[in-house]
Amino acid sequence: MKAGFRGAGLISFDPQSILSKLDIRIRTSTPPSTSLELTNSWISQTPHNPTEALLQSTLVKARIARHQSSSPTPIFETVQALVKGTERLAHEVTLLSAENRMLRTANEVLSKRRRAKKIQLRNGGVLTGQEAEDILSQQEVDNQIQRDERQNGGNFNRESSTSQCCIQKRGAIQ
């Protein structure tokens, strides 16, 4: 230990002289927050994500636990906000799952169409000029999708690319 004091430039091994040189400020520590304080800081509102829904349910439980003979109106308002947020999340999940099914179906149709064209060519089928143009335009669309996905980091709206592809094909057919 003496060598450590000497290495730090504190030659004497006198703990009192060292402690007297330190600048110590004594503070009272803040007590850890309790769940009651967390619920008091949370305001009753419609939750917009799972974390807010959890905080909202904690608030409802705390208010019910504190409720004795006072008016139950604040509890009912809080429960109503929780119900509204839950309904909103349920509707959003329903819409997203429907959109997901629709996109999977469109993707399946496109992949079947591509496989059918490749099989036809392998089996010696005849390729018309229109079919060749369709294949080339589809390749251009696919390349554009890949470029956009690389630029956007994979966050590309496939629905809009599918509808653009279908619009291009309809225009070519007419």
pLDDT tens figures, 33-73: 554 454 456 677 777 777 777 787 788 777 777 777 777 78
| Residue in the structure block whose two tokens are 């294949």 | 135
| Residue in the structure block whose two tokens are 């939750």 | 47
**pLDDT at residue 88 greater than cutoff 80:** yes
How would residue 110 be classed by pLDDT, with cut points 50, 70 and 90?
Answer: confident
Helix axes 73-122, 129-152, angle to 10 degrees: 140
How would residue 140 be classed by pLDDT, with cut points 50, 70 and 90?
Answer: confident
**pLDDT at residue 156 greater than cutoff 60:** no
List the end-to-end C-alpha distance of the chain, in Å, as a whole number. Answer: 92
Highest-scoring range by mean pLDDT, 32-36, 63-67, 121-125, 158-162? 63-67
Highest-scoring range by mean pLDDT, 4-18, 65-79, 120-134, 135-149? 135-149
**pLDDT at residue 105 greater than cutoff 90:** yes
CA angle 71, 75, 79 (to 5 degrees): 150
